[in-house]
Amino acid sequence: MTRQKKVILDILRSTKSHPTADWIYTEARKVIPDISLGTVYRNLNVLREAGEILELNYGSSYSHYDGNPENHYHHVCLECDRIADVPMPVQAELEQKARACGCGEIYYHRLEFYGLCPACQQKKDKQTR
């Protein structure tokens, strides 16, 4: 593994914030000042293809990255785009139910919950009061 790839993986594994490539780039430059954004993107693709990280794209213009490659659920805030882990077990029976519908073989599923994060919900509560 190249040093660049290792630095990028370490950055991703040390945060729970599901950052964008830009944020990872800013952090990587603190360790490798002459790293380029292109190199960051290239290494993110290599890490994703190797199953070391997840790329999350929920319709916003930028992908977010997750240092935890195991399947798990996310909560997406529609106001501030915060992505948070939802600490509940992956529902394997969903795949059995979908398979029973005759749609074909299923290898995995992804699930996101959309709404407001606690901070945005609190802001909204104050406005409506």
Q: What residues make contact with Zn ion under the rule CB under 5 A?
A: 77, 79-80, 82, 117, 120
Q: Which listed option, Zn ion, Mn ion, none, makes contact with residue 56 (CB within 5 to 8 Å by class)?
A: none
Q: According to the binding rule CB under 5 A, does residue 66 interact with Mn ion?
A: yes
Beta bridge partners of 84: 75
In whole angstroms, how close is the CB of 118 to Zn ion at the nearest point? Answer: 8
Instruction: In whole angstroms, give the CA distance from residue 8 to residue 42.
Output: 11
Buried/exposed 86-114: b ≥16 CB within 10 Å, e otherwise:
eeeeeeeeeeeeeeeeeeeeeeeeeeeee
- Tokens representing 121 are 């919900």
Q: According to the binding rule CB under 5 A, does residue 27 interact with Mn ion?
A: no
Q: Which range in 27-35, 60-68, 104-112, 120-128 contacts Mn ion by CB under 5 A?
A: 60-68
In whole angstroms, how close is the CB of 87 to Mn ion at the nearest point? Answer: 10
Instruction: In whole angstroms, give the CA distance from residue 85 to residue 94.
Output: 19
Q: Which listed option, Zn ion, Mn ion, none, makes contact with residue 82 (CB within 5 to 8 Å by class)?
A: Zn ion
